[in-house]
Amino acid sequence: MKRSLRNKVPAPELDECLRRYLKSGSKHGDTTMTLGQTRWAIAEGYIPGQSSFSDPALVSHETACILNAGETEAHIRVTVYFADRDPAGPYLVTVPPQRTLHLRFNDLERPEPIPRDTPYSTLLESDVPIVVQHTRLDSRRAEVSLLSTIAYAQAAPR
Amino acid sequence: MKRSLRNKVPAPELDECLRRYLKSGSKHGDTTMTLGQTRWAIAEGYIPGQSSFSDPALVSHETACILNAGETEAHIRVTVYFADRDPAGPYLVTVPPQRTLHLRFNDLERPEPIPRDTPYSTLLESDVPIVVQHTRLDSRRAEVSLLSTIAYAQAAPR
Amino acid sequence: MKRSLRNKVPAPELDECLRRYLKSGSKHGDTTMTLGQTRWAIAEGYIPGQSSFSDPALVSHETACILNAGETEAHIRVTVYFADRDPAGPYLVTVPPQRTLHLRFNDLERPEPIPRDTPYSTLLESDVPIVVQHTRLDSRRAEVSLLSTIAYAQAAPR
Amino acid sequence: MKRSLRNKVPAPELDECLRRYLKSGSKHGDTTMTLGQTRWAIAEGYIPGQSSFSDPALVSHETACILNAGETEAHIRVTVYFADRDPAGPYLVTVPPQRTLHLRFNDLERPEPIPRDTPYSTLLESDVPIVVQHTRLDSRRAEVSLLSTIAYAQAAPR
């Protein structure tokens, strides 16, 4: 990456870029390097309409855990697909540099809330590389049940 | 992708293509681009024969969640492998463009139902790229238990 | 794949190969093509020593679900790694062509059983491509809990 | 890999290298070859503050299962990301050759413990290839719930 920058970026931008890289590198090793992909899909989605608890940590919820380990803010467009209607979205989400966001689909309101008890799929498109993991806590019954999986990652279209 | 189109596609097709891209782009960003792979495998499969509930949402089930984020209908051939007999199938499944299908293996009937309490594996072959995630809800006991994982993706044979 | 065969394989072998391909293709589409990888790792491993049930389906168990979608038998070497002793194995496992095996680590006996209540990791090396998924059913408590994930796939060393 | 060594490595090193390969190969097949990647991310992270049990095996915990199937010790830097503060770490972890480590985030103390009931993400950077799987046991309720997924793997930056 640095090698290609040397050929294409004007000197001042390059200097600034290298300065940021060296500065951050001294704090967290290689963590400021590019990590992840810009497109992630979660084919499974379902927010149970019921919960046995009112404690927010135990309310049935569906989460996309998003890690932005990079140096620049991630602007993410979330599109939600259904079985029998047009997709909803985009929902716009921002994750600051070097931060994580555990995004609850329950909390999405604009442009419209995600319907409960309805199967859906999700696509996340970011302007910088991120890492996405999908987790659901289901507390329809008094017992809590969990599922989790890494999402499907794909490089941005060229 | 757009760059290569400029070289290879006749002008009218290109115009139409770009128009569709821009139109959809204004609604759902890059979501109409190719997303996923055409071959997916789920090595784990098991439909518990028992359930503690009659509510369809809580009956023990095994699901392949399929996202078709593309612009054309996906035609999918599902083959089911067993430990000690020849594979069953193909089961034919269709997912419309920009839709998701949460396919319950419990519901497959043709050419034959999937036997209960029997280990199996599944191969899904699609004519357009899709994303597949595997989820099971097990309610043999009164408590609901969940598992989920992204399926194994592989590019189509060349 | 067929193209390279044309250059390297003597005509009779090629004919036989194509004949098998066409024959099988008419039954299960592309399913006889190469699917999967030859090396798979499962970093998590733990067989609970306790179970609340004697029904074999509900005894706590750890499983590697293996799909061999190919046309030839898969010979698999399983090596088990521990925290503080040398690896155990190889355990030798065979999966017939177009079959699945849900291998319970509980059942491995030779060269030695897997100790209970002990963290381990597993490496599976096959002579033909396979797909591996990891699943555990934990019934230490009266409630059954499940986890599952695709294993880590890596191409064979060249 | 052996072929490239033949061209680039002086004869004595090569002999020693081949000897080690053959020696280990006779015990565990190809297991001493490079397996895994050097950078792994787990976007989901959450240590429940409560547990219904005091048995360490059943206390709520979050684990990174790490397999080092190689011949040399793995030195791993763990960085933990939060929603609203700078990352914590690096936590330094060592995994001996041909060993596994089921690292409990609950046990990390230096430079600081991981806060409970707080969403986080994790980055693991190793000097040799490893395989990482993420598992959580949640026993906030009397019932145990499990989740697990392969972590996100990425080759080291070039």
Predicted pLDDT at C141: 66
Identify the weakest region by mean pLDDT among A122-126, C120-124, D25-29, D40-44. Answer: D25-29
Predicted pLDDT at B11: 39
Q: Quick check: D43 and A133 CB within 8 A?
A: yes
Taking contacts as CB-CB distances below 8 angstroms, the residues of chain D near B149 are 149
Predicted pLDDT at D156: 61
Q: Which residues 6+ apart lie within 8 Å of C31 measured at CB?
A: B79, B87, B123, B125, C24, C69, C98
Predicted pLDDT at B120: 96
Share of chain B above pLDDT 90, in %: 57
Whether the pLDDT of residue B94 is over 70: the answer is yes
Question: pLDDT-based confidence at D11, cuts 50/70/90?
Answer: very low
* Neighbour subunits, C (≥3 Cβ pairs < 8 A): A, B, D
Q: Give the C-side interface with B, CB within 8 Å.
A: 1, 28-31, 33-36, 57-58, 63, 65-67, 69, 98-102, 131-133, 135, 142-150, 153
Predicted pLDDT at C28: 39
A97 contacts A23 by C-beta, under 8 angstroms: no
Q: Which residue of B has its CA nearest to C52?
A: B141
Whether the pLDDT of residue A22 is over 70: the answer is no
Q: Which of B82, B84, B147 sits opposite C147 (nearest CB)?
A: B147
How far is it, in rounded angstroms, from Cα A46 to Cα A117?
6
Question: pLDDT-based confidence at D157, cuts 50/70/90?
Answer: low
Predicted pLDDT at A26: 33
What one-letter code names the amino acid at D48? Answer: P
> What mean pLDDT comes out for the span D10-24?
38
Identify the weakest region by mean pLDDT among A95-99, A142-146, B108-112, C29-33. Answer: C29-33
Highest-scoring range by mean pLDDT, A92-106, A144-158, C1-15, D18-32? A92-106
Q: Which of B131, B139, B154 should be substituted to probe chain A, the one whose Cβ sees the most A Cβ atoms within 10 Å?
A: B131
Q: Quick check: D102 and C42 CB within 8 A?
A: no
Identify the weakest region by mean pLDDT among A40-54, A104-118, B71-85, D83-97. Answer: A40-54
Taking contacts as CB-CB distances below 8 angstroms, the residues of chain B near C148 are 44, 134, 136, 147-149
Q: Residue D38: enclosing H or E segment and its boundaries?
A: strand D37-42
Distance of CA D54 to the CA centre of its chain: 26
Q: Which of D99, D150, D153 sits opposite C83 (nearest CB)?
A: D99
Whether the pLDDT of residue B126 is over 80: the answer is yes
CA distance to partner chain D, nearest, from residue B77 (Å) = 27
Whether the pLDDT of residue A23 is over 70: the answer is no
Whether the pLDDT of residue D121 is over 60: the answer is yes
Share of chain B above pLDDT 70, in %: 75
CA distance to partner chain D, nearest, from residue A65 (Å) = 5
Q: Give the B-side interface with A, CB within 8 Å.
A: 1, 3, 28-31, 33-36, 57-58, 63, 65-67, 69, 98-102, 131-133, 135, 142-150, 153
Q: Which of C69, C145, C146 sits opposite B81 (nearest CB)?
A: C69
How far is it, in rounded angstroms, from Cα B92 to Cα D145?
35
Whether the pLDDT of residue B12 is over 90: the answer is no
Identify the weakest region by mean pLDDT among A3-12, B48-57, C48-57, D73-82. Answer: A3-12
Highest-scoring range by mean pLDDT, A51-55, B63-67, C13-17? B63-67
Closest CA to A104 of A96, A116, D99, D49: A116
Q: Which of D143, D145, D149 sits opposite B149 (nearest CB)?
A: D149
Question: pLDDT-based confidence at A59, cuts 50/70/90?
Answer: confident
Q: Residue A146: enclosing H or E segment and its boundaries?
A: strand A145-150
Question: pLDDT-based confidence at B24, cuts 50/70/90?
Answer: very low
* Neighbour subunits, D (≥3 Cβ pairs < 8 A): A, B, C
Identify the weakest region by mean pLDDT among A94-98, A108-112, A143-147, B131-135. Answer: A143-147
Share of chain A above pLDDT 70, in %: 75
Predicted pLDDT at A156: 61
Number of A–D residue contacts, CB under 8 Å:
109
* DSSP-based three-state secondary structure for D8: helix
Can you read off the two tokens belonging to residue A49?
């309409």
Q: Which of D105, D152, D154, D158 should be substituted to probe chain A, the one whose Cβ sees the most A Cβ atoms within 10 Å?
A: D152
User: CA torsion, points B103, B105, B106, B107, in degrees to nearest 10?
Assistant: 50
A122 contacts A79 by C-beta, under 8 angstroms: yes
DSSP letter at D46 equals -
Closest CA to D68 of D136, D118, D128: D128
How far is it, in rounded angstroms, from Cα C80 to Cα D28?
10
Instruction: Give the tens place of pLDDT for each residue, C47-105.
Output: 888 777 777 777 888 899 999 999 999 999 999 999 999 999 999 999 999 999 999 99
* DSSP-based three-state secondary structure for C98: coil
Could you tell me which residue, D10 or A48, shows the higher pLDDT? A48
A14 contacts A20 by C-beta, under 8 angstroms: no
Q: Name the percent of chain C in helix, strand, coil, to the closest 5.
A: 20, 40, 40
Predicted pLDDT at A20: 41
> SS3 for chain B, per residue?
CHHHHHHHCCHHHHHHHHHHHHHHHHHHCCCCCCCCEEEEEECCCCCCCCCCCCCCCCCCEEEEEEEECCCCCEEEEEEEEECCCCCEEEEEEEECCCEEEEEEHHHCCCCCCCCCCCCEEEEEEEEEEEEEEEEEEECCCCCCEEEEEECEEECCCC
What one-letter code names the amino acid at C66? Answer: I
Whether the pLDDT of residue C121 is over 60: the answer is yes
Q: Quick check: B157 and C33 CB within 8 A?
A: yes
What are the angstrom distances between the C-alpha of C73 and each of A58, B52, C42, C69? 47, 39, 22, 10
Whether the pLDDT of residue B71 is over 90: the answer is yes
Share of chain A above pLDDT 90, in %: 57
What are the angstrom distances between the C-alpha of B91 and each of B4, B97, C32? 36, 19, 16
Instruction: Give the tens place of pLDDT for each residue, A27-42.
Output: 334 444 689 999 999 9
Taking contacts as CB-CB distances below 8 angstroms, the residues of chain B near D149 are 149
Question: pLDDT-based confidence at A52, cuts 50/70/90?
Answer: confident
Whether the pLDDT of residue D43 is over 50: the answer is yes
> What mean pLDDT comes out for the span D41-51?
88
> What mean pLDDT comes out for the span B139-152?
82
Enter the pTM of the model.
0.80
Average pLDDT, chain A: 80
Q: Quick check: B149 and C133 CB within 8 A?
A: yes
Whether the pLDDT of residue D28 is over 80: the answer is no
B46 contacts B62 by C-beta, under 8 angstroms: yes
Identify the weakest region by mean pLDDT among A147-156, B74-83, B91-100, B120-129. Answer: A147-156
Predicted pLDDT at B8: 35
